[in-house]
Structure 1
Amino acid sequence: MNVDHEITLLTEEIRRLGSKNADGKTSVKFGVLFNDDRCANLFEALMGTLKAAKRKKVITFNGELLLQGVHDNVDVVLLQE
């Protein structure tokens, strides 16, 4: 899979599902992203895509790893509009 393409798809999904936070950046809860049917079909390994996007400073979130259930309320913030 092309990582850059996956990151582009991820940013589109964050824009679709998220909303502007207090800083004016688009943000979505990890649980919303994880449980979305379209995202489930798009991303074979959502966490891998999130980690790659974080490494490239496209998004940010607290911690290194997000797990469904435990981290559902963690914000995934889009750094590049």
Structure 2
Amino acid sequence: MADQATVDHEVKLLLEEMERLGSRGADGKLVCKFGALIHDDRCSNIFEALVGTLKAAKKKKLIDFEGQMLLSPVHDNVDIVVL
């Protein structure tokens, strides 16, 4: 199991990558498609377990998405919102 500092670091990197790949909605919130993250070469090099990092960020209430877990290609079009 990854230690808390590693998890916190990966969550921070996730938010940075979402900023790079996402866009602002009408409400000003940053939104990124799951597919944009999962199919991005840079993200695949950074994150060993992107789905786990997403779950950790959701648990910390930093992001939100529908459902408990996202899987590609089924959920590629799901919006992940930065809270």
User: TM-score when scaled to structure 2?
Assistant: 0.92
Corresponding residue of 1:6: 10
Give RMSD over aligned pairs: 0.7
Runs of 4+ in 1 over 3 A off after TM superposition: none
Q: What is the CA–CA distance in structure 2 between the aligned matches of 1:41 and 1:75, rounded to whole Å?
A: 22
Matched-pair identity in %: 65
Corresponding residue of 2:65: 61
Q: Which has the larger radius of gyration?
A: 2
In structure 1, the gaps of 5 or more residues are none
Q: What is the CA–CA distance in structure 2 between the aligned matches of 1:12 and 1:20, rounded to whole Å?
A: 14
Aligned length: 79
Corresponding residue of 1:27: 31
User: TM-score when scaled to structure 1?
Assistant: 0.95
Task: Identify which of 64, 77, 81 aligns with 1:77.
Answer: 81
Amino acid at match of 1:61: F
